[in-house]
Amino acid sequence: MNSKVFYGIIAILVAGLIGFIVISGRNKPPAKTLGTQYPEEGSQHVADGTQVPYKTNPPTSGPMYGRDVPKGFYEQEVPDSSAVHSLEHGRVWITYRPDLPKDQAQKLKGLFSQPFSDPKFTPSKAIVSPRSMNSAPISIVSWRWKMDLQSFDEQKLKQFYLQHVSRAPEGAAS
């Protein structure tokens, strides 16, 4: 067999492999967006201390205090209206009821704050805090999106975070 024929066969095989990869990729369904999307409740600033009646629990948008909550793990509850301001900046807020088993709260802390429990997952816009008013043991929210969990589920928490982080009116804010 001469070299031209050999290289021609190789080129046909490579082209076929590339075509197969492209077609296979098109047939994959997109990853399902986790959570429930809610209508926007506005984004106006209100005076600190103002009681705001949100339609979701925890809130996913709406009136907010002028000061947001920096990323990190909090031992104490944070004001909903400050957290909503953080959501407007593209952060993701993970809340848990204070009666959540301690080991699950520690897993949340390890997953979303330094030193991260998974070195390949290093979320830079996560807030984790207890919240006694939670409707579920764990809730994860972003601007207009919410997902409730009955217990710690690392895969769903990571997927929700990655799907929703920075997807907000001021998502480019730090």
Task: Render pLDDT for 5-36 as a digit per residue (tens, 0 to 9).
Answer: 777 777 787 776 676 666 765 555 557 899 99
Question: pLDDT digit string (tens) for 94-145?
Answer: 999 999 999 999 999 999 999 999 999 999 999 999 999 999 999 999 999 9
The shares of helix, strand and coil residues in the chain, as percent rounded to the nearest 5, are 30, 15, 55
CA dist list (Å): 47 to 65, 93, 136: 6, 21, 28
Rounded distance between C-alpha atoms, residue 37 and residue 20, angstroms: 36
Element (H, E) at 142: strand 138-142
Question: Under a CB-based contact definition with an 8 Å cutoff, are residues 126 and 94 in contact?
Answer: yes
Tell me what pLDDT residue 10 has.
76
Region 141-152 average pLDDT: 98
Six-digit token pair at 93? 């807020």
In angstroms and rounded to an integer, the radius of gyration of the C-alpha atoms of the chain is 22
Q: What is the DSSP letter of 25?
A: H
pLDDT at 72 over 60: yes
